[in-house]
Amino acid sequence: MMFPHMLVVFLVIFLLLDDVFAYDIHKYSLLMPEIHPDKDELYLCTPVRIVNKQYYIVGFEPNATMHDVHHMLLFGCSVPGTTDDVWDCGEMAASDGSKNIRRAIPCAEGSHVLYAWARDATKLNLPEDVGFQVGLGTKIKYLVLQVHYSKKFPGNKLDNSGISLLYTEQPQSKLAGVILLGSGGTIPARSISHMEIQCEIEEEKTIYPFAYRTHTHSLGKVVSGYRVRKGKEGDDWLLLGKRDPLTPQMFYPVFNKDPIYGGDILAARCTMENYRDRDTYVGPTNNDEMCNFYLMYYVENGNPLDTTLCLSDGPPKEYWYNSKYNLNNIPDLEASKL
Ligand code: CU
Ligand code: CU
């Protein structure tokens, strides 16, 4: 005979379990298919096609060691760079690539960076109820893993580094997105330059930032990103993230999680030190530069922003101070100091 209070205990346990196991999280390992890195500074890409169903990616588990792998990037694409199992996809590769494989960019169309890994980074779980919606009915039809091997492997040693994707088919109430702020322009020889980007969120949506990533090539000193809100007292600049871009370029928690509204402006600055005797331009190779600030966020209702890119002309044309937003209260010192 069961006492009523025991029944309550069972019920409570059952409800708790039911809550924890409300849906299944599956794991898909997107790995290099036993390849042999046959040269230094090799960038390889491998895809997975996801068109039959809709999935929600809720976490990323790296499967690599810094001994073998310099970095990994996970892209979401509408069209991948090739239809091959593996291709040479080096942004920075100035050489003629590896033997017997094609060269192409990671995504031919609709490129989004969803995750980045570099030395010592551990697993990244998205906040509760947040997921990247991919597959059927979305623009992300393929996931492409890029692995950068800085050193050629000895002998016939093979590699299957990659990323395990934690996903569910259960719709998540908050969808994740990434917006990329990037600058064009020129960094004159023997100078320190600011590459600056700004754009207004023109969609009537509220986004909740939670992670950021910076990217430059070798001349970057500091990259900082802000939310700017126009007000009677002047512009209010809120720091979202700032770091030395030559530290591992992965996603880090934002400094400030305040919601960002339609009408707010996103702004970023890269402080670049060109010690070279030649001008350096924005471009894909190691001889070129880039100034990128990625912001990862979620929305509480509906879809993430349609806007995935925010670009500026950069130096010597476009800066914060002469942009169309008439920015004031510019945190000139803070933005360039670590
Ligand atoms: Cu790398
Ligand atoms: Cu780059």
Tokens of 281: 């331009």
Answer with the one of 131, 155, 172 that is the final residue of a domain. Answer: 172
**142 plus 184 within the same structural domain:** no
- Among all bound ligands, the one having the nearest atom to the CA of 113 is 2
Rounded distance from Cα 286 to ligand 2 centre (Å): 8
**195 plus 153 within the same structural domain:** no
- Among all bound ligands, the one having the nearest atom to the CA of 72 is 1
**122 plus 205 within the same structural domain:** no
Q: How many domains does the chain have?
A: 2
**161 plus 182 within the same structural domain:** no
**Parallel/antiparallel/unpaired status of strands 208-216 and 252-253:** antiparallel
Residue 3 lies in a domain: no
**258 plus 200 within the same structural domain:** yes
Rounded distance from Cα 100 to ligand 1 centre (Å): 22
Rounded distance from Cα 145 to ligand 1 centre (Å): 13
Residue 1 lies in a domain: no
Rounded distance from Cα 202 to ligand 2 centre (Å): 27
CA 12-14-18 angle, to 5 degrees, is: 115
Rounded distance from Cα 146 to ligand 1 centre (Å): 10
Which residues have C-beta under 5 Å from ligand 1, the single-atom ion?
70-71, 148
Residue 98 lies in a domain: yes
**152 plus 248 within the same structural domain:** no
Residue-level pLDDT at 254: 98
Residue-level pLDDT at 93: 56
Task: Give exposure, 294-316, as e/b (b: 16+ Cβ within 10 Å).
Answer: bbbbbbeeeebbebbebebebbe
**129 plus 275 within the same structural domain:** no
* CATH code assigned at 119: 2.60.120.310
**213 plus 326 within the same structural domain:** yes
* CATH code assigned at 259: 2.60.120.230
Cα Rg of the chain, angstroms:
22
Residue-level pLDDT at 95: 55
- In the 8-state DSSP scheme, what is residue 336? G
Residue 152 lies in a domain: yes
C-alpha neighbours within 13 Å on the C-beta side of residue 35: 28
Residue 2 lies in a domain: no
**219 plus 145 within the same structural domain:** no
**192 plus 131 within the same structural domain:** no
- Among all bound ligands, the one having the nearest atom to the CA of 245 is 2
The pTM score is: 0.89
Amino acid at 91: E
Residue-level pLDDT at 180: 96
pLDDT averaged per 10 residues in sequence order, the chain, 338 residues:
57 50 87 95 95 96 93 96 94 62 93 89 92 96 96 95 97 97 98 98 98 95 98 96 94 97 98 98 90 97 95 97 97 97
What gap in Å lies between CA 320 and CA 338, rounded to an integer?
19
**204 plus 111 within the same structural domain:** no
Residue-level pLDDT at 121: 82
The parent domain of residue 280 ranges over 177-336
Answer with the one of 172, 200, 232 that is the final residue of a domain. Answer: 172
Rounded distance from Cα 70 to ligand 1 centre (Å): 4
For residue 76, CA distances in Å to 9, 80, 106, 109, 138 come to 46, 9, 9, 10, 10
**191 plus 158 within the same structural domain:** no
Residue 5 lies in a domain: no
Residue-level pLDDT at 92: 64
Residue-level pLDDT at 119: 78
- Among all bound ligands, the one having the nearest atom to the CA of 249 is 1
Answer with the one of 172, 196, 225 that is the final residue of a domain. Answer: 172
Q: Which residues are catalytic?
A: 70-71, 146, 148, 215, 217, 290
